Amino acid sequence: MHSSSRSCARQGAIIIAKSNMHEFAYGITTLGSLFGQTRNPYALDRNPGGSSGGTGAAIAANFAAVGMGSDTCGSIRIPASHNSLVGIRGTQGLGQPQRDHSALPAPRTSADRLAPDRHRSRDRARRHRRL
């Protein structure tokens, strides 16, 4: 389990699933060779956006209240905008736990951020403080 998942679990979160992502986390259409195209729950003929679009689609479809993703070039912000969610890419060093990158595809840079997606900004702010 990734260190951010362990941290969430220690604080009482129940980890229920993993979601689809864009191949190697490099793309904005959430298309992967293993599971194919993730669909936008609001319009099945559209994609959910971003490499973390599977998480965004799952939250938008009410499969979960919160989900974690990584954001280097919009992978949290794009799914948030495509799925009517709140997703904010944190400032470097602010609220970012010391973590390994074992759950993130290589290569990763210092520009990468872990961040949650939520339905409401109040929930997003509460979760960000716990990270």
Tokens 């971003």, located at residue: 50
Residue ranges covered by each domain of the chain: 3-130
Residue 43's DSSP bridge partners are 40
> Global pTM?
0.74
Residue 37 near residue 25 (C-beta atoms within 8 A):
no
Count Cα neighbours of 28 within 13 Å in the Cβ-side half-sphere: 8
CA distance 112 to 101: 10
Question: pLDDT tens across 70-98, in order?
Answer: 788 888 899 999 999 988 887 766 555 44
Tokens 């609001």, located at residue: 42
Element holding 32 (H helix, E strand): strand 31-32
One-letter amino acid identity for 113?
A: R
> What does each of the 131 residues of the chain score in pLDDT, given as a tens digit?
667 778 888 988 888 888 998 888 888 999 988 899 999 999 999 999 988 899 999 999 999 888 888 788 888 899 999 999 988 887 766 555 444 445 555 545 556 666 666 666 666 566 666 55
